[in-house]
Amino acid sequence: MNATDIVSATVSGFLLGGSLIVAIGAQNAFILRMGLVRRHVFALCLFCALSDAILIAAGVAGMGAFVTANPAALRFVTLGGAAFLLAYAGIAARRAFKPAGLVAADRAETGLGAAIAQCFAFTWLNPHVYLDTVVLVGALSAAYQPAPRLAFGAGAVLASFVWFFGLGYGARLLAPVFARPSAWRILDGGIAAVMAWLGLSLLLRLVG
């Protein structure tokens, strides 16, 4: 075992983690919106990154095999996640149809507890998160020896931290664009479509 193996495993984990997390999803849409209104950005980004770290660590430790062996657990999480995503899609769609009230609504203070609760649901009620972090990362990490396996997991965790904080704080660069209510209409319409698509895809997986 040498330093090259460790570095190679870390880079591989980082690239895998990055490729999985960059895809459009509930977490990313929520962090983008909160970043645009500059509301609890650090706390929410840290929550998402730490959540990924916990799940990745569980997968690397062997939890992926346990989850795949217990489909009932995934079924329960899938149903709960679908219900939440569809409900949030409705909320986002309502915001999109009332662009005149979007700016005023975004100025209202959103409590940290409420924001964390929404972020918790987007993270821990989303079966895709488990499949990506616990199952997929965990399964691929099994190909490495103990030390490189830890490095692989660390690389995936680093990718989550880089992505969430980059998305949260980078969103403010788009603030001039979203000074117009019409831009919020487009964003919330897109969020509603993404959430609805994710929720329906989860329900189809249950009946498929």
Each residue's pLDDT tens digit, 91-146 = 878 877 875 433 434 444 678 999 999 999 888 887 778 777 887 777 777 767 78
Upper half-sphere CA count for residue 23 (Cβ side, 13 Å): 11
- For 9-20, how does the pLDDT look when each residue is reduced to its tens digit (9 = 90+)? 888 888 877 777
pLDDT band at 148 (very low <50, low <70, confident <90, very high): confident
Upper half-sphere CA count for residue 194 (Cβ side, 13 Å): 16
Report how far residue 90's alpha carbon sits from residue 189's, in angstroms, rounded to the nearest whole number: 10
> Once rounded to an integer, what is the mean pLDDT over residues 58-63?
80
pLDDT, residue 54, reads: 93
Report how far residue 14's alpha carbon sits from residue 8's, in angstroms, rounded to the nearest whole number: 10
Could you tell me how far CA 135 lies from the centroid of its own chain?
15
- For 149-186, how does the pLDDT look when each residue is reduced to its tens digit (9 = 90+)? 889 899 999 999 999 999 899 988 877 776 677 777 88
